[in-house]
Amino acid sequence: MRYREFWQLVDEVLGAAHGRELTRELVLGGLDQRTAVQALEDNVEPRDVWHALCDELEIPENARWGTDARRPAPPRS
């Protein structure tokens, strides 16, 4: 997953304004108590950040991949 894809999914799945706020403010236990933005700045793989964010928000697997039915789900590392 590329950074561009991460941000597209944030906008599609969480909503542009609300999703961006969550990535800046929500501290994620799965990312060593960092926000998604902090983890990305620390070079954590975007797919790992996305999975941690979705796990924390309890987003079901079938709802994590946005509106593009052809978009493959990135594997967990």
Domain count, the chain: 1
Taking residues 46-72, report their average pLDDT. Answer: 88
Reduced to 3 states (helix: H, G, I; strand: E, B; else coil), residue 70 is: coil
Is the pLDDT at 4 greater than 80, yes or no? Answer: yes
Residue 29: CB atoms within 10 Å: 10
Query: Tell me, what's the pLDDT at 3?
Result: 95
Domain that holds residue 19: 3-62
Is the pLDDT at 77 greater than 80, yes or no? Answer: no
In a domain, 15, yes or no: yes
Query: Tell me, what's the pLDDT at 67?
Result: 79
- Percentage of residues in the chain having pLDDT higher than 90: 75
In a domain, 21, yes or no: yes
Query: Tell me, what's the pLDDT at 54?
Result: 95
Query: Tell me, what's the pLDDT at 7?
Result: 96
